[in-house]
Structure 1
């Protein structure tokens, strides 16, 4: 066994030393939607059969596949396109577009820079900012992911206000405390403002598993900074797991930063999203549209 491991490590080292080294990794991303789906319960217009359908569609929407193409310094992380099912319309399509998909996510660990193109509220943005530097705590704990021995690292990070995967349902006690007569009437009528039922945590713990067998400081999304390729990330309600790795694929893909959209920083983009969400929330409260569930 030790001989096999040594041979494999030497093979990886020879691949990485190649002048035009490139790698490709496939990641499966799943976001828990149990608390999101629970907010549809209690609406008297939604039957148990409809509730089951909602939960199944949400589960399918938030299971995504991404491709990470990387070299020693840079990478692109893009969602694998799927054919949209007839059920993914209206509010479902809106929520799906907010859950970490779409566009090209580019990061350069040498220049400590990331860019990602996003479409929001009918406008195209190009987020350009410094790579977030997490204070990773390395652990001796290990596990096997495929052919790779991985080690555990943890960090606490602030939550981006535009990352809707981290929205969580408010506790029922808080809802009751904030619920006035008008809200009670709306709730009884099954015509509540969906966004009023949510809150965003300020920070979350991240658990990552990286492999020194591939000594590249890369990973999915904005994760980087560990002494090896990150193969698994548990981030709040989302788990991202590598299912396939190809070293030096026959067909090389150009790793280039996206250029389309209005350039904004991450903070500026978060502010734009927060303001638009508040606008929609107010429209919903006043009966002028917005994002509502029910009638």
Structure 2
């Protein structure tokens, strides 16, 4: 009991010192995250594909589904962007999966805690979009569980969110599915999420569109995706300006998902016919 009390008092004192530091100066921090997404092998690939082929394709896609991101944040704003890297030749899989990931390019994500604004740059077949929306409102449930992530004491919180974006499993339609009138992309896809945050960095920020807790979120578990913080740098001398994205056609997240689903289906049809790009297979198809 004394150990638990001492740990709580020590953490409270650290939070108090950090809070005074953040309030006393124009601070900025950087958090580095590794994002990993696993593949649903049961529904992966075309019907009849043997397991060895599935595993070989999944191994090539693994590189594209493991990414490093940098969250640059202050008390009220943040930008979450992919860390630039040189991919290995032939990386990212092959066939439909490689073309999909090469033509749907995610850009910087910006969120403002003060104005509740969410902006994200996206590119689909060379056409730039600017997703403009509000940051999600999470109803976090504190579980009381704690663990260490690096040097930080973290606490567990659970919630739900609407999941946007395309299916990373690249499952082709089964026979007869092409003509079904179901439109799952228009239904709200609610997913359970578990996060771990640290009050030792008392800012209501986190990776991607996550926020709303009394401390920086260091780990996210959402379905088959895990986002884990690997490094934090506070108050570096080399500070960056947090820029608000402004380029691209403005759309909501729902509108962008509809556009993406339509382009992905066009690409599937062209791929089956031996093409691979919407707009007749010419480079830059779909540009408008």
Which band: TM-score by shorter chain?
0.7 to 0.9
Query: Partner of 1:241 in structure 2?
Result: 228
Please show how residues 1-295 of structure 1 align to structure 2 within 5 Å.
2=7, 5=11, 8-35=14-41, 38-39=44-45, 42-43=48-49, 48=52, 52-88=55-91, 91-97=96-102, 102-160=106-164, 162-165=165-168, 175=174, 179=175, 202-284=189-271, 287=273, 289-290=275-276
What do residues 83-140 of structure 1 show as CA deviations (whole Å, max 9, x unaligned)? 12220366454343588x6411110010000111111122111111111112222211
Number of equivalenced pairs: 262
> How many angstroms does 1:64 deviate by?
0.5
> How many angstroms does 1:163 deviate by?
3.6
What TM-score comes out, normalization by structure 2 length?
0.79
Change (3 A) 1:92 1:288: closer
C-alpha separation in 1, matches of 2:140 and 2:15: 25
C-alpha separation in 2, matches of 1:129 and 1:144: 34
Which structure 2 residue ranges, 5 or more long, are not aligned?
A: 1-5, 179-183, 278-288
C-alpha separation in 2, matches of 1:282 and 1:104: 30
Which moved further from structure 2: 138-147 or 67-76?
A: 138-147
State the Cα RMSD in Å.
3.0
Give the secondary structure class of the aligned counterpart of 1:12.
Answer: helix
C-alpha separation in 1, matches of 2:108 and 2:45: 32
Whether the 8 Å CA contact 2:107–2:120 is kept in 1: the answer is yes
Which structure 1 residue ranges, 5 or more long, are not aligned?
A: 184-192, 194-198
C-alpha separation in 1, matches of 2:34 and 2:103: 17
What TM-score comes out, normalization by structure 1 length?
0.77
Whether the 8 Å CA contact 2:141–2:157 is kept in 1: the answer is yes
